[in-house]
Amino acid sequence: MSKKHIPEIMAPAGDTQSYLAAVAAGADAVYVGLKHFSARMQATNFSISELAQLASLGRDRGTKTYVAMNTLVKPNDVESAGRLIDRLGQTVKPFAIIVQDLAMVELARQVGFKGEVHLSTLAILSHPSGLETIRKLGVNCVVVPRELNLDEVKMMADACPKDLDLEIFVHGALCHCVSGRCYWSSYLGGKSGLRGRCVQPCRRLYKQDKNHAQRLFSCSDLSLDVLTKPLLDIPKVAAWKIEGRKKGPHYVYYTVRAYQMLRDNPKDAQAKKTAVELLEQALGRPTSHSTFLPQRPFQPITPGEETGSGRLIGEIKRDQKKLYFQPREPLHPGDAIRIGYEDLPGHRTLFIRRRVPKRGRMDIPFSKKPGNNHIPSGTKVFLVDRREPELMKQIKELQGELEFFPAPKSKESTFTPKWPKTAARSKIKPEMVTLYRTPPRGRTYGKVAFWLERPTIGKTPQAQVGRSQWWLPPVIWPDEDKRYRSLIREAVKKGAREFVINAPWQAAYFEDRKNVKLVAGPFCNASNRLALNVLKDLGCSSAIIAPELPEEDILALAQNPPIPLGIVTKGLWPFGIARFLSDSVKMEESIKSPMNEVLFVRKHGQNNWLYPGWELDLVGERRTLERVGFRSFITMKEEWPRNVPRPKRTSTFNWKLKLL
User: Hey, is 62 helix, strand or coil?
Assistant: coil
Once rounded to an integer, what is the mean pLDDT over residues 341-360? 88
With 60 as the cut, is the pLDDT of residue 42 above it? Answer: no
Q: Give mean pLDDT, residues 245-260.
A: 95
525-568 pLDDT, tens digit per residue, is 999 999 999 999 999 999 999 899 999 999 999 999 999 999 99
Q: What is the pLDDT of residues 286-309, one digit of tens each?
A: 899 999 999 988 889 989 877 778
501, 618, 633, 654, 658 from 564: Cα distances, Å: 15, 19, 12, 22, 25
Partners of 383 in the beta sheet? 311, 337
- DSSP secondary structure letters along 520-548: E-GGG---SHHHHHHHHHTTEEEEEE-TT
Tell me the pLDDT tens digit for each residue of 219-232: 999 999 999 999 99
Q: How far is CA 8 from the centre of its chain?
A: 21
Residue 339's pLDDT is: 92
**Lowest mean per-residue pLDDT among 178-187, 200-209, 440-449:** 440-449
Residues 82-96 pLDDT 10s:
999 999 999 999 999
Note the pLDDT tens digit of each residue in 133-170: 999 999 999 999 999 999 999 999 999 999 999 999 99
- Domains and their CATH numbers in the chain: 8-182+222-287 (3.20.20.70), 311-383 (2.40.30), 431-566+620-638 (3.20.20.70)
Q: Are the CB atoms for 635 and 431 separated by under 8 Å?
A: no
Beta bridge partners of 591: 208, 599
Percent of the chain at pLDDT exceeding 70: 98
565-571 and 540-545 strand pairing: parallel
Q: Which of 137, 139, 194 is nearest to 166 (CA)?
A: 139
Residue type at position 38: S
**Size of the chain, expressed as the number of residues it contains:** 660
Sheet holding 591-592, edge to edge: 207-208, 591-592, 598-604, 607-612, 576-578
Please state which of the ranges 127-131, 347-351, 472-476 shows the lowest mean pLDDT. 347-351
**pLDDT confidence of residue 46:** 87
* Model pTM score: 0.94
Bridge-partner residues for 46, per DSSP?
34
Whether the Cβ atoms of residue 185 and residue 191 lie closer than 8 Å to each other? yes
Section 444-451 average pLDDT: 92
The per-residue pLDDT of the chain, averaged, comes to 93
Beta strands in 572-644 (DSSP E): 576-578, 591-592, 598-604, 607-612, 615-617, 632-636
Nearest Cα neighbor of 307 from 382, 219, 246, 384 is 219
Q: What is the largest CA-CA distance in the chain?
A: 81
- Band (1; pLDDT cuts 50, 70, 90): very low
What pLDDT, on a 0 to 100 scale, did the predictor assign at position 4?
47
Q: Which of 618, 550, 633 is nearest to 186 (CA)?
A: 550
- pLDDT for 86: 95
CA distance 129 to 482: 9
The predicted structure's pLDDT at residue 371:
66
Query: What is the mean predicted confidence (pLDDT) over 93-108?
Result: 97
**Do β-strands 336-339 and 380-385 pair in parallel, antiparallel, or remain unpaired?**
antiparallel
Name the DSSP class of 643.
B
Check whether 602 has a pLDDT greater than 60: yes
Q: Is the pLDDT of residue 80 over 80?
A: yes
> pLDDT value at position 3?
45
**278-292: per-residue pLDDT in tens?**
999 898 888 999 999
pLDDT over threshold 60, residue 610: yes
Measure the CA–CA gap between 538 and 106, rounded to whole angstroms.
13
Amino acid at 306: E
Tell which residue, 450, 488, 489, 491, has the closest CA to residue 470.
450
Report the percentage of the chain scoring pLDDT > 90: 82
The continuous run of DSSP H or E covering 491 comes out as helix 481-493
Q: What mean pLDDT is predicted for residues 57-69?
A: 97
Phi, psi at 555, each rounded to 5°: -70, -35
Identify each DSSP E strand in 209-310 by its residue range: 221-223, 237-242, 287-288
pLDDT of residue 31 exceeding 50, the answer is: yes
